[in-house]
Amino acid sequence: MQRLMNKFKNRMRAMTEILEGPTAIATGVDRLTNGQLVAFPTETVYGLGADALDGHAVAKVFALKGRPATNPLIVHVSGIQMAKTVVAQWTQEAELIAKAYWPGPVTLVLTKADCVPGIVCANGDTVAVRCPAHPCALALIEAFGKPIVGPSANPSGRISPTTPEHVADGFGDVDLIVIDGGHCRAGIESTVVDLAGDISKVLRPGIVGAHAIGETLGKSVECVTQQAEDSVARSPGVVGAHYQPRTPTKLASTGLLASASESVVLLAWSTDVHPSGGTLISMPQDLGQYASMLYRALHQGDKASQDSIWIEEPAIGSTAQDQAIRAAIIERLDRAAHG
Ligand code: AMP
Ligand code: MG
């Protein structure tokens, strides 16, 4: 009898379920329609989806993530046509960038349309919008027929998820489905470009750099993440602690790695690193591949339950593209480091 009761209780316990294929999309649409959450893959990281036009559903995203209400969400769309429904004005600059990079890892900040609930935009007058380059994300949005919010599907401040298992591990036993789209190719979050102010600027670096955005717009575009005051005002998500493993983590120069003890996890790309102790996780020298693997390596390092994680500073790139990716990686690593 007791065993039967336990079996029943286990069945009743909420759990995160990983689903694949057309059934996953259909179940996802059902859940979104009922105001529930659905974790879905994008080319950057896994997102925690909800109907972007339903304030109650969006509130569940903030609650599950433990995300401060002051940090606005990105609205995911299936293309330019849907993007136009959530902004007050689709500008010529938006058209140029969307045509050049969508579907892809570039988010545009524009003046919001009235239909977007205030909670999505932290009660500001702008909305961030992006069309993700992942077949599952596009299939989900198209089948749902409406935009969905999609912050990273992890507890606020922690390492972003790039596999369905990361999502399930992060939230534990909650009633959530994760659409399995494999490992995220780009591996770090989108470039956020602010087109709402007088001067266009990059608020968060990503795989697509400010230089490339500038070339698309035919003018110079700055990345302003270092200007703390402006960042607080325009993009609250790019300040403070973020991307953090539970294990104390530091950025280390190549020379320092040899002094690692048994209880250190090392993320290193140099092939000539021979630490006397510790657990080595080999990182790629190629910066695109490094970005793709970074969060997976941090999750793996955290799971090793050692005293600390040391990350070798990534290789210096030679091309403008490499330099952009490196800057985006460094922005994450600087904020992953703590303790
Ligand atoms: P996440 O979805 O967790 O990758 O974070 C979304 C990023 O987009 C954060 O850095 C937010 O601050 C930024 N963001 C979202 N909406 C806006 C907006 N309306 N204005 C400026 N930044 C935004
Ligand atoms: Mg996030």
Distance 153 CA to ligand 2 centre (A): 7
Q: What is the pLDDT of residue 296?
A: 97
Residue 254 clears pLDDT 50, i.e. is over it: yes
Neighbours of ion ligand 2 (CB under 5 A): 152
β-bridge partners, 101: none
Percent of the chain predicted with pLDDT > 90: 81
- Which tens digits make up the pLDDT trace of 278-298? 788 999 999 999 999 999 999
Kindly identify the ligand whose nearest atom is closest to the C-alpha of 106: 1
Could you give the CA distance from residue 327 to residue 232 in angstroms, rounded to a whole number?
19
Query: Does 231 reside within a domain?
Result: no
- Which tens digits make up the pLDDT trace of 62-93? 999 999 999 999 999 999 999 999 999 999 99
Global pTM reads 0.92
Mean pLDDT score across all residues of the chain: 91
270 and 314 in a common domain: yes
Which residue, judged by its Cα, is nearest atom 1 of ligand 1? Answer: 151
Query: Which regions of the chain does DSSP assign to beta strands (E)?
Result: 16-19, 38-40, 47-51, 74-76, 106-111, 126-130, 148-149, 176-179, 191-194, 201-204, 222-223, 249-252, 264-268, 279-282, 308-312
178 and 82 in a common domain: yes
Could you give the CA distance from residue 219 to residue 211 in angstroms, rounded to a whole number?
9
Measured CA angle at 177 (ends 59, 167), to 5 deg: 80
232 pLDDT tier (thresholds 50, 70, 90): very low
Closest approach atom of ligand 1 to CA 238: 10
Residue 32: give its domain's CATH number. Answer: 3.90.870.10
257 and 327 in a common domain: yes
Closest approach atom of ligand 1 to CA 112: 19
- Number of Cα atoms under 13 Å in the Cβ half of residue 149: 30
Distance 313 CA to ligand 1 centre (A): 26
Nearest CA to 195 out of 112, 113, 282, 279 is that of: 112
Within 6 A (CB) of ligand 1 lie 71-74, 109, 121, 124, 126-128, 151-152, 189, 192, 203-204, 234-238
Residue 262: give its domain's CATH number. Answer: 3.40.50.11030
Domain extent at residue 28: 2-223
98 and 63 in a common domain: yes
230 pLDDT tier (thresholds 50, 70, 90): very low
Query: Does 312 reside within a domain?
Result: yes
- Which tens digits make up the pLDDT trace of 175-196? 999 999 999 999 999 999 999 9
Query: Does 186 reside within a domain?
Result: yes
Q: How many domains does the chain have?
A: 2
Sign of the Cα torsion 276, 329, 179, 33 reads positive
Which amino acid belongs to residue 191?
T
143 and 88 in a common domain: yes
Mean pLDDT (whole number) for 101-123: 98
Kindly identify the ligand whose nearest atom is closest to the C-alpha of 149: 1
**Pairing mode, strands 16-19 and 176-179:** parallel
Closest approach atom of ligand 1 to CA 107: 8
- Extract the tokens encoding 184: 């995220």
For 228-239, b where at least 16 C-beta lie within 10 A, e where not — what string?
A: eeebeebbbbbe
Distance 76 CA to ligand 2 centre (A): 14
Distance 235 CA to ligand 1 centre (A): 6
Distance 339 CA to ligand 1 centre (A): 26
Map residue 8 onto helix, strand or coil. Answer: helix
- Indicate the top mutation candidate among 62, 109, 295, 331 to test ligand 1's pocket, ranked by most ligand atoms within 8 A of CB: 109
More confident residue, 235 or 283: 283
253 and 219 in a common domain: no
Which DSSP symbol is given to 185?
A: S
- Which tens digits make up the pLDDT trace of 38-66? 999 999 999 999 999 999 999 999 999 99
Among the candidates 223, 240, 260, a domain finishes at 223
271 and 186 in a common domain: no
**105, burial (CB in 10 Å: exposed 0-12, middle 13-18, buried 19+):** buried
Residue 335 clears pLDDT 50, i.e. is over it: yes
90 and 30 in a common domain: yes
The answer to whether the beta carbons of residues 73 and 125 sit under 8 Å apart is no
Query: Does 150 reside within a domain?
Result: yes
